[in-house]
Every structure is written in structure tokens, then in C-alpha cells.
Amino acid sequence: MKKRYVVLVLVSFIFFINVSCEEDDNNNNEPVETEFTETNYIYEGDLRMYYLQTTNTELEAQIEVWQQVPDSDPNYNDAQASIVEANAEIANNLEEYSSIINPDDAFIIINPILPPIPLPSPCLCLNLYNSVETIVLQPGTDQMNLTITVVEDQSNLVNTNATTQINTIQNTNGLGRYQAFELSQSGFTGEATITVATEHGNYSILANFQNLQ
């Protein structure tokens, strides 16, 4: 009788451990909801819009240079052809710029509160806070590779140990997706090059990271 009692206790204990492990596994598989605030994420659409703006500014400056080439110059025809090509690229960029969806129009991430704007910087670059830890993808983007490189020493700011998994923002009908990242230099301030690679193409912009005031 005593032997049966010991066996029964052991079986019950093993059953309890199995149930607990299954519950832990189920809890670990549940998606973790990320809280988006005004300063902890960047929207890839904003980066792309800034890239298109700066590209058009550079093209317009170059067009002014080509327009100064006199018709008596041997390079006149080449300059005129370059102007046509540049204007076509500007038009394409403007069309793409107007098609980029504001995240609040596509999916609600945070309450519509205007984030504080970083102080202007001396460089021609996009001002960002160094509190960012998430990049939100444009709707229709399924793949992304993000690198952030310090301008001064070309060191990589994105911690390679951070996840590169694409996650879905809850309650967005699958439209909202994001990728978490971590800056390897906590509290970094200064200029860095942000390079974004998606299935739609690659581009780079210059950004100035500042402390949250």
C-alpha cells in the first residue's frame, strides 16, 4: 500500500511538471506587444521621404549648373540631355513622395500627438532622437535590412545581437510591421549614415542623433 502511494505521488508530480512546461511554452509563444511612443520609433516612410527630398534638392542644384553651359560649349548638348534626365528623375521622386502613406492613415500606432522636434543641427541631415529602438515598415514591405554607421569612424551602430525579425503590430489588420533594433553605443550623439535595404530598393541618408531633452 505504501509502495502504491509513493508511485501515485511520483506520477502526479511528473504530470504537474509537464503541464507547467506546456503552459510556459505557450506563454513564450505569445506575441509580445510593443508600446510605441512619440520618440522610440522611426517610420521608414519618413526616411524615404527625406531621401527623396534631399535627392531632388541635389538634382535641382546640378540643373542650375548645367543651365549655365553656353550653347557654344562642346558640352552643351550633354548638359541639356542631363537636364532632361534630371527633371524626369525629379518628377518620379515627387510621384513616389506623394504615394508614401502616413502611418496614422494606414494604421494607428500611437495617439495622434505631435512628437517633440529635435534641435536643428549644423549638418544637412535628418534630426532624430537616440531613444529610437524600432523602425516601422511601410505597408507592403516584407523584408528590411537596417544599418546605422557612425560618420567619423564608420563603426556600425546597430547591435548585431539585436533581433532582425519582422513583427506585426497588433490590431492593424496585418498592415503594421516593425523591426526592433538596438544601438550598440547607448546614448550616442552625432552624425550617422542610415542605410535601408528592402525588396523595393536601397538608399542611404545622413542623420543627426540627439539626446531626448
Residues in the chain, overall count:
213
Task: Read off the pLDDT of residues 125-135 as tens digits, 9 standing for 90 and up.
Answer: 899 999 999 99
Whether the pTM exceeds 0.85: the reply is no
DSSP string computed for 21-51: HHHHHHHHHSPPPPPP-SSSEEEHHHHHHHH
Distance CA 161, CA 193 (A): 20
Out of 23-27, 106-110, 187-191, 202-206, least confident range: 23-27
Q: Tell me the three cell numbers of residue 71.
A: 550653347
Report the DSSP beta bridge partners of residue 128. Answer: 209
Highest mean pLDDT among 5-19, 25-39, 45-59, 91-105: 45-59
More confident: 127 or 110: 127
Distance CA 196, CA 29 (A): 29
User: Is the pLDDT reported for residue 29 higher than 50?
Assistant: no
